[in-house]
Chains A and B, each alone.
Chain A
Amino acid sequence: MNTYLTDILQSGALMITTITGIVLLLVEANRRGRPATSFALAIVGLLAAGMTALIQMPAHGTGFSGMVQTGGFASFFAALFAVAGAMTIALSRSYLARIGWFRGEYAILTVFAVVGMMLIAASNDLIILFLGVELMSVCLYVLAGLARVRDRSNEAALKYFLLGAFATGFLLYGIALIYGAVGSTNFEAISAAFPAISAHIMFLAGAGLVVVGLSFKVSAVPFHMWAPDVYEGAPTTVSALMSTAAKAAAFSGFLVLFVRTFHFVGAGLNTVLAVIAAASMILGNVVAIAQTNIKRMLAYSSIAHAGYMLAGVAAANAIGLMGVAFYLVAYAFMNIGAFAVVSMVEDDHEQHLTLDDYAGLSKQRPLVAALMAVFMFALAGVPPFAGFFGKYYVFLAAVEGKMTWLAIVGVLTSLISAYYYLRIVVLMYFRDGAADVAAKPSVLTMVTVVLAALLVLQLGITPSVVVQAAQRFF
């Protein structure tokens, strides 16, 4: 019994988040019609979990009879998920109130989704990886369909659910085959057996299927089809959560498997990953140019960024690991910020979502426009913002990993991406238009967005914080 207590204390962030979710359930059950309380509690709980994760980062270990890892990698990502979750809840408060879906269940499901994400990053067993992916996905399916009277929201939820369930099937088949080849689902056992079985046909097939399942969750080409429709149809703040924390969670699954369990070697799947990465970068960036709806544009941009990060995974070296971790943190804040601005400009009836609605924004709302400009420059990878170092590290990793062609594809497609990111900046500052921000953004929203912008700038100036943490992952 004592050992269980230490296990619980060691994975503090996970426990605090789960307890927050359960407390929220009880609060919702007893205090009807007061979602503000739930939102506040959720933010406090997630921030507490994030702090705990940062405090527990130096202590490495495993818990619950080898089911989860604690400290290091798990804590790093737990902190990221908690902060990203808290930020989206903070942003959602006034946005959801405006569109008429300000409900406590939103906070509950977001918190449980964060629990799922933390489980993925902490997983030390294929079963936990699977359960984490499922918990996260189930919550996101529902959140995507939150505005259930809107056709688009329903379409988004149904598409995401059907394709997501299919992808889960792939993941589960892969897990079953790996279990069949190794005889264990534990990562340490797989890691120990790896050199002997890395060429085993059953193991390779399993690893390939797991790649398919996870690629779906990170929306990499050719498993990206759902992303534009889902990001467009889901409430904007839910899209923010899906494109940042959920994507980071799936990538943490990639890293746990390929870096830790398959010893960087990637079970011979590095070339496959590199091809997926290149396809995502090219397709995402090229198709993003043609978009007129800003949420769709950000969705294609998100596909492209998945490509950059997969390049870091495919490179299969320590710089790649660090680069992907850094990129995920940077991307989380830039994209939450970008979607937050979109949610401010959007009106109550899914209008004001085209790029033209951003014309002249700098005159009406100078601060909002300036923040959007920061996020766009960061997404384009312009120094001194965080996006630059993210790209720098993953491309460096690709070169070091003898995949120079991948780095070249990355740099060229980044140039393409500058066109559509900077187009928004041009529209906001150099075009006259009737940009009409729906309502005055609430203080909470503005504070969150400014915080995201500051973090993007801070990470761009001092990337060493994340770099040092990444060296003590495993």
Chain B
Amino acid sequence: MTLESILFIVFAAVGLASALLLVTRRNPIISALYLILNFFALAGLYLTLHAQFIAVIQILVYAGAIMVLFVFVIMLLNLRDERSLREGLSWKKVFAAGVSFGLLMEVIYILMTSASGMTELLPAKATEIGTVEAIGSRLFTRFLFPFEVTSVLLTAAIVGAILLAKKKLD
């Protein structure tokens, strides 16, 4: 077993476990903390894929900025009795669970039977495109147009957010 596969197994296990704990905990703050752990595990997985830039961004943006927002919202909402959010078992849930399980089995079956081309090892190319330099230079050459379009998208989103959230218009 190489170091890489050991790291993969460790990060994947942490990721799965924290994701499970995230949805099963009753206290929202504890859920949020598990989400942070999940983000870190994911960042670790990105690192094993040689995607340094994404790994750093994952921690900075998700584990950092977005989590602060999450925790703020949880605290502002001030959920006193978490039990009020719980729902009983209904036929809808049973049906949904059945359909989900069926789909999961289908996906597993398909992946097992046609695994060809799915287990390709890391191409050397991935190492080239994962670095900050490579992403920077691509962003300002070949992908300049999408980069500019993103700025239009953000502008529109800001206009919309102000329109919807401003306390007193005019």
Contact = CB atoms under 8 A, between A and B. Distances in A.
Interface of A: 18, 21-22, 25, 32-33, 64-65, 67-68, 103, 105, 108-109, 112-113, 115-116, 119, 125, 127-128, 131-132, 134-135, 138-139, 141-142, 145-146, 148, 157, 200-202
Given A109-B156, A138-B160, 17 more contacts: A18-B152, A21-B152, A21-B155, A32-B170, A67-B143, A67-B145, A109-B160, A112-B155, A128-B149, A131-B146, A131-B150, A135-B152, A138-B153, A145-B164, A157-B164, A201-B118, A202-B117
B157 interface: yes
A116 B152 CA distance: 9
Contacts of A157: 164
B114 interface: yes
Contacts of B152: 18, 21, 112, 115, 135
A114 to B, nearest CB: 11
B110 A142 contact: no
Interface string B146-170: 1001101101110111111000011
B143 A105 contact: no
Contacts of B149: 119, 128, 131-132, 135
A33 B170 contact: yes
Nearest to B146: A127
Give 10 closest A-B pairs by Cβ, nearest first: A142-B160, A64-B145, A112-B156, A67-B145, A135-B153, A105-B163, A131-B149, A127-B146, A201-B114, A65-B142
Contacts of A22: 155
Contacts of A67: 143, 145-146
Interface of B: 110-111, 114, 117-118, 141-146, 149-150, 152-153, 155-157, 159-164, 169-170
B156 A139 contact: yes
Given A33-B170, A145-B164, A64 B159 contact: no
A264 B149 CA distance: 29
A145 B162 CA distance: 12
Contacts of B160: 105, 109, 138-139, 141-142
Contacts of B157: 138
Contacts of A127: 143, 146
Contact of A200 (B117, B153, B156, B159): B117
Contacts of B145: 64-65, 67-68, 128
Nearest to A66: B142
A103 B160 CA distance: 12
Contact of B153 (A33, A64, A131, A146): A131
B142 A146 contact: no
Contacts of A142: 159-161, 163-164
A145 B156 CA distance: 15
B111 A201 contact: yes
B170 A108 contact: no
Contacts of A139: 156, 160
B166 to A, nearest CB: 10
A119 B153 CA distance: 12
A141 B114 CA distance: 40
24 contacts: A33-B170, A64-B144, A65-B142, A65-B144, A68-B145, A103-B163, A108-B156, A109-B160, A112-B152, A119-B149, A125-B146, A128-B145, A128-B146, A128-B149, A131-B149, A131-B150, A134-B153, A138-B156, A139-B160, A142-B161, A145-B164, A200-B117, A201-B114, A202-B117
A135 B156 contact: yes
A22 B143 CA distance: 22
A146 B164 CA distance: 7
A434 to B, nearest CB: 35
B144 to A, nearest CB: 7
Contacts of A132: 149
Contact of A202 (B118, B146, B155, B163): B118
B14 to A, nearest CB: 23
Contacts of B142: 65
Contacts of A65: 141-142, 144-145
A156 to B, nearest CB: 12
Contacts of B118: 201-202
A452 B109 CA distance: 53
A131 B146 CA distance: 7
A146 B160 CA distance: 9
A112 B110 CA distance: 42
A128 B146 CA distance: 6
A119 B170 CA distance: 32
Nearest to A68: B145
Contacts of B117: 200, 202
Nearest to B153: A135
Nearest to A148: B164
A157 B163 CA distance: 13
